[in-house]
């Protein structure tokens, strides 16, 4: 599943290519892509609306849309699932085998939602004030889709990095958990956007093993983990995200290259790039964690 850097790469691509464009039509080719909505009438929900902004929190992506009146009361919520791709400028391409939705804009350009495994979806949602109290670009309350209201802030949000209260609150929530730190980092209600890959990489950089109890870590140690998570995700963002197969691509269909820079994730049995010790893998809760037994004491 795409993690925060991969979703942010997609968000930036959409913002660059389709911000301000107006929907002309939306064709749904698979009902699961808009589950909860009537596929035939889904197009009418976006009819003649304009994309006012493209936003994200953690792994969740949405586009705020407004009608002719200028009111922006709804969001086109996008969940990429395991294999969802948002591809632009495919107006000359025939409908592909795994293309689930095709949106055409009034200027003739096209946005396609391609999803091989059909776990992703589009949905229209109401907007609600962010329960974390963040503000928008003009100082008003930031509005987010109702499905995202339960999600914690992520380390790449501007408010998270500029207001120490958000960071301190996150540290408090993490330290209150009597569970393995790796499991806590994956809890999107505690801190958003850190998935399996970047949790392993952040813990390696912080020198902390994934099965350490969060409650037993000091506040400075937790702050260090969050700082490394932010740093490693920013580096991944610079390289277009992490791609292990053809399922994750940006809006132009290109893959990211951060997998070449991974220190521990997916490297079981290979020598640590720092000390040479073979990387170990442990399993818990249906997931795997990779760590260096020397660098992470």
> Which H helix or E strand runs over 104?
strand 99-105
> At a CB cut-off of 8 Å and minimum separation 6, what does 73 contact?
126, 127
List the catalytic residues. 2-3, 59, 287
What CA–CA distance (Å, rounded) separates 187 from 174?
10
User: Tokens 């998935």, residue?
Assistant: 195
Find out whether 175 is annotated in a ligand binding site.
no
Strand partners, 76: 63, 124
Please list, residue by residue across 35-62, b when 16 or more beta carbons sit within 10 angstroms of its beta carbon and e when fewer do.
eebebeebbebbeebbbebbbbbbbbbb
Find out whether 117 is annotated in a ligand binding site.
yes
Q: What is the largest CA-CA distance in the chain?
A: 63
* 15 token code pair: 């913002």
User: How many C-alpha atoms does 156 have within 13 Å on its Cβ side?
Assistant: 25
What CA–CA distance (Å, rounded) separates 185 from 221?
13
Measured between alpha carbons, how far apart are the two ends of the chain, in Å? 29
Find out whether 150 is annotated in a ligand binding site.
no
* Residues of the binding site for DNA: 98, 117, 177
* Residues of the binding site: 98, 117, 177
């Amino acid at each position: 599943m795409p993690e925060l850097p991969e979703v942010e790469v997609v968000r930036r691509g959409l913002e660059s290519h389709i911000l301000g464009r107006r929907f002309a039509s939306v064709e749904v080719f698979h009902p699961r892509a808009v589950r909860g909505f009537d596929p035939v009438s889904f197009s009418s929900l976006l009819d003649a609306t304009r994309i006012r902004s493209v936003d994200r929190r953690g792994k969740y992506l949405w586009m705020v849309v407004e009608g002719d009146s200028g009111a922006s009361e709804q969001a086109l919520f996008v969940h990429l699932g395991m294999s969802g791709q948002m591809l632009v400028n495919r107006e000359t391409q025939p409908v592909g085998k795994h293309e689930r939705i095709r949106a055409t804009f009034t200027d003739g350009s096209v946005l396609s939602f391609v999803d091989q495994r059909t776990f992703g979806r589009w949905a229209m949602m109401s907007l609600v004030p962010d329960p974390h109290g963040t503000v928008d670009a003009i100082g008003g309350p930031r509005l987010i889709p109702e499905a995202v209201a339960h999600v914690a802030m992520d380390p790449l949000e501007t408010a998270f990095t500029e207001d120490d209260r958000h960071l301190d609150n996150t540290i408090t929530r993490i330290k209150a958990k009597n569970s393995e730190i790796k499991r806590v980092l994956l809890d999107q209600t505690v801190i958003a956007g850190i998935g399996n890959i970047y949790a392993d990489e952040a813990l390696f950089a912080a020198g902390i093993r994934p099965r350490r109890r969060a409650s037993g870590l000091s506040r400075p140690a937790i702050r260090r983990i969050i700082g490394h998570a932010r740093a490693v995700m920013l580096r991944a963002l610079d390289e277009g995200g992490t791609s292990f197969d053809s399922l994750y691509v940006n809006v132009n269909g290109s893959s990211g290259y951060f997998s070449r820079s991974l220190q521990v994730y997916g490297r079981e049995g290979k020598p640590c790039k720092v000390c040479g010790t073979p990387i170990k893998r442990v399993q818990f809760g249906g997931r795997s964690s990779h760590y260096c037994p020397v660098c992470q004491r």
